[in-house]
Amino acid sequence: MKCPYCGDAGTQVVDTRENEDGDTVRRRRRCPACDKRFTTYERVELQLPMVVKKNGSRADYDRDKLKGSMMLALRKRPVTSEAVDAALDRIEEKLVTLGEREVASDRIGELVMRELKRLDKVAYIRFASVYRNFEDVDEFSDAIREIKKPRVRHTRTG
């Protein structure tokens, strides 16, 4: 692994730790040339489907781009980066289990909205307003009513 500071290829691993789920390895590294330290992360690279955009063009799935969109909606909201990463992991897991080579960007947008709804209602509304291209206040009201709906509990009587 090259040092990001001086470019030397002889870096050393100082510490290795797995995250709680065991799906990511964090490594602290030290460069003997410049004595700087840095962190790297390793995780399994899954074969994610190509993204088919609304205009018909295709692009590689980009976790960083998706995270950027989510972080924009979550700006100044009390949600940890670990919670965002876990949400991204769930989205990617869903995409992989679909078993399809291509997925429409709309489908990914819906998965993002589902995760944001779980993480933070305000972020959900922010994202939905851009994603669904709200044109007026009534559409905002409808989205707010949607997240305020009381959950119906089914109970058995017998």
Phi, psi of 57 (to 5 degrees): -75, 160
Q: What's the pLDDT score for residue 147?
A: 74
CB atoms within 10 A of CB 111: 19
Q: Give the pLDDT of residue 134.
A: 65
Each residue of 92-144: pLDDT tens digit? Answer: 999 998 889 999 999 999 999 999 999 999 998 888 877 776 676 777 677 77
Q: Domain count for the chain, please give it.
A: 2
Task: State the residue range of the domain holding 89.
Answer: 50-144
Whether 75 and 125 have beta carbons less than 8 Å apart is answered as no
Distant-in-sequence, close-in-space partners of 83: CB < 8 Å, separation ≥ 6: 119
16-30 pLDDT tens trace: 998 877 778 999 999
Half-sphere exposure for 10 (CA within 13 Å, toward CB): 4
Same domain? For 82 and 16 the reply is no
Statement to judge: residues 64 and 107 lie in one domain? yes
CA distance 110 to 79: 20
What average pLDDT does the chain have? Answer: 87
Residue 2 forms part of a structural domain:
no
0.75 exceeded by the pTM? Answer: no
Q: Please indicate, yes or no, whether residues 132 and 115 belong to a single structural domain of this protein.
A: yes
116 shares a domain with 71: yes
Own/partner long-range contacts of 149-155 (Cβ < 8 Å, ≥24 apart): none
Tell me, yes or no, whether 20 and 56 share the same domain: no
Claim to verify: residue 67 and residue 119 sit in the same structural domain: yes
39 and 55 assigned to the same domain: no
